[in-house]
Structure 1
Amino acid sequence: MQLHPFPEPDTPELEPYTLYGRPEIVSLLRRITGDRTLVTVYPGRAGDFSVSMILETDPDRGRLVLDMPAGNEARQRVLQARELVFVAFFENIKVQFTAAGARERPFDGKPAFEVDLPEQMLRLQRREFFRVRTPKLAPASCLIPQADGASRYESVRVVNLSVGGLAVLVHPHLFDLPPGEVVRNCFLDLPSVGPINVAFRVVNVYDIGGGAGEWGRRCGCQFLDLDPQARMMLQRYVNRVEGEQRKVAVEAKRE
């Protein structure tokens, strides 16, 4: 079973990973809300998707309020869909739930929509797909070929990484990665591990700005056709970074 950003099919094998208890579902949704985790919204089970965020979990009214996707076309897809599928990755867990339909509802003066609180929720976890934030002092980077046909590459910073995919930070006025684009012959440079040739599909994109002096466009990507050697090197890097981060956290608690 692989974890990817697309909706999981409704199959009996996923039943053991399904939550039905309302307190457990509400607790998980509140944590996702508080963490401001991005949520991918699929209008039905078609290939179209938008990126949103849960703004409020309200069990008393039995509803979730989410940020309205940008663009009129995306907004209409969400509001007109008979069924919406929501997928999020939170603390290395894939969370998925559905809603019968969306209702437009402003929240704090901003465009938003609400759906009924889900009665069940899929919760998948797989150790090898743990995603780690790359260190800022010695970050991983990725050389991505430019689309003009010349032998030129754009170097972008890797924000986080797992064996399943990565997120990179780009500056759209210099270089852009639109959703759905497949990019091959990229060189992922992992400090203390080495370079890896990878291909990936851009899954979701959103703009960031201001926080910690960072600004640009964050592009979440899924690896394609990863060979065993590359997978082993990625896992080695993830394990090393995770171990270093755990060590720092333990030392911080002692101080």
Structure 2
Amino acid sequence: MSQIAILSEAEIQERFHITGSRPVAFTLAGFARDAEPFTVHLEGDFFPTILLAVLPEKDALIFDCSGSLEANRHLLLSKHNVFVGRPGGIHVQFSTGPATEVTYAGAKAFSTALPKFLVRLQRRESFRVLTPRARPLQFFARLANGQLLSLPTHDISVTGIGLNAVELPEGLDVGVVLSNCHFALPDDTQELFCSATIRNLSERESRQGERHWHIGLQFNDLPTIAQNRIQRYIDKLERERRELS
């Protein structure tokens, strides 16, 4: 069982879907600017393409035609198209409806409505698994003002950790480095020590309607032996969850 397979559909959507018209348009515009290659899969055919432009005001994604007239004809008849690419080595996928032929920058191209969301899967080593809620790991760090940070974890991977906070502690911001961090894995006799960089802060709402903050940290200098200990802990969680399923 993969680490992503133990997440619910809602958790997969929360973690790996980019939603909202502005974030989707912004992300696709970056792919177009960098001329990232994609493959468009249509009904009974597929061909390589490049995203050319994003026009949010027209709800339009412009992409390059195929060199095959037959593939272009098939696309104009297709009602459902799936774009798949690996920008930066990370799997990105999104679906669109029918396309129409347009002229862009003096050449033939296709236009389709912007997708409602993008699926962006992280590299396997950065997949995070949820830690037990009943007895969460406790993460400790010292802030720049000398305050002790002590928060329960939400998820963990060999490259980072997520924390839960009822209120956002003062002094925390994206890019801040916490230089004195430590936490203990269950059944381990020694704590893990490292520094960590805050990569994201997001306010969330639980199923019970309670608001809380999620703090995403990236480990900076975690030794390989410590990464191996975390991986063994993740494997243990997977085995336990598999036995309960």
TM-score bracket, shorter-length normalisation: 0.5 to 0.7
Q: Write the distance in 2 (CA, Å) between the matches of 1:199 and 1:158.
A: 16
Q: Write the distance in 2 (CA, Å) between the matches of 1:154 and 1:85.
A: 43
Q: Write the distance in 1 (CA, Å) between the matches of 2:9 and 2:34.
A: 18
Aligned to 1:132: 129
Q: Percent identity?
A: 23
Matches within 5 A, 1:120-199: 120-122=84-86, 123=91, 128-148=125-145, 150=146, 152-175=147-170, 177-193=172-188, 194-199=190-195
Question: Under a length normalisation based on structure 2, what TM-score does the superposition of the two structures give?
Answer: 0.55
Matches within 5 A, 1:19-30: none
Distance 1:84 1:156, change over 3 A: farther
Q: Write the distance in 2 (CA, Å) between the matches of 1:68 and 1:204.
A: 18
Does the 8 A contact of 2:54 with 2:60 survive in 1? yes
Is residue 53 from structure 1 mapped to residue 18 from structure 2 by the alignment?
yes
Is residue 68 from structure 1 mapped to residue 65 from structure 2 by the alignment?
no
Name the larger-Rg structure. Answer: 2
Give the root-mean-square deviation of aligned CA atoms. Answer: 3.9
Distance 1:144 1:177, change over 3 A: same
Does the 8 A contact of 2:168 with 2:213 survive in 1? no
SS in 1 for 2:164: strand
Q: Write the distance in 2 (CA, Å) between the matches of 1:38 and 1:130.
A: 10
Gapped regions of structure 2 (runs ≥ 5)? 1-7, 37-49, 63-80, 92-120
Aligned length: 172
From 214, 237, 248, give the equivalent of 2:244: 248
> What CA deviation, in whole Å up to 9, does each residue of 1:157-182 have, x standing for no partner?
11110101111112445445311222
SS in 1 for 2:192: strand
From 197, 222, 229, give the equivalent of 2:225: 229
Does the 8 A contact of 2:201 with 2:216 survive in 1? yes
Distance 1:99 1:140, change over 3 A: farther
Distance 1:32 1:180, change over 3 A: farther
Gapped regions of structure 1 (runs ≥ 5)? 1-30, 40-51, 55-65, 70-74, 87-97, 107-112, 250-255
Distance 1:173 1:223, change over 3 A: closer
Name the amino acid aligned to 2:142.
P
SS in 1 for 2:184: strand
Aligned to 2:14: 37
Does the 8 A contact of 1:144 with 1:156 survive in 2? no
Matches within 5 A, 1:80-159: 83=33, 100-104=52-56, 115=61, 119-122=83-86, 123=91, 128-148=125-145, 150=146, 152-159=147-154
Question: Under a length normalisation based on structure 1, what TM-score does the superposition of the two structures give?
Answer: 0.53
SS in 2 for 1:137: coil
SS in 2 for 1:190: coil
Distance 1:228 1:34, change over 3 A: closer
SS in 2 for 1:159: strand
